[in-house]
Amino acid sequence: GNKKKEVQGKLAEAQKLLNTLTAKEKAALDAEQARANRSSTERVDLKDAPPASGRASAAFSAAQSQIGKPYVYGATGPSSFDCSGLTSWAYAQAGVSIPRTSEAQANAGTRIYNQSDLKVGDLVIFYGDMHHVGLYAGNGQVLHAPHTGAVVRYEAMGNMPFQFGVRI
């Protein structure tokens, strides 16, 4: 049974190596994520796009106050948010009730298909199945709760497949 012990030893060694590697990779990924979170929670140049309305402006300000809060699936604030949790919470602060999910929010107002017609505070819907939503921030930026492991932050609209905007 010496051969078996040797093989098991080699296997254990390989597993250990694999574990340290994934820990290293995970650390690298975490660092990358932290960097992305940091750079996009600082002041982004939003230019001076006018808000869609007073309500949209109030909703956008509310969302800005949540920058740096963690993304948690199903969360509707105020300590953590998912994408549509953030947008519905933000509009609620402006006294406007919109549906809870990104798919329902896609139908909550007037659709805007041309990105250049977007105004600050408009909802912006991403992906063909409309599973992601954020608030238009001006200058080609979206303010959103991206995904698990990320925080509420600004991001370039071009990083995701834009479908249309929704003016509430």
CA nearest to 133, candidates 83, 89, 61: 83
Spatial distance between the Cα atoms of 4 and 30, rounded to a whole number of angstroms: 38
| CA distances, 145 to each of 15, 85, 166 (Å) | 36, 9, 17
83 carries an active-site annotation: yes
Considering 69, 132, 153, 167, which one is annotated as catalytic? Answer: 132
Q: What is the dihedral of CA 46, 47, 52, 53, to 10 degrees?
A: 100
Q: Which residue has the tokens 């896609």?
A: 106
144 carries an active-site annotation: yes
Identify the sign of the CA torsion 35, 43, 87, 79.
positive
Considering 56, 133, 136, 144, which one is annotated as catalytic? Answer: 144
Considering 52, 58, 83, 168, which one is annotated as catalytic? Answer: 83
| CA distances, 127 to each of 57, 102, 144, 159 (Å) | 25, 11, 14, 11
Catalytic residues: 83, 132, 144
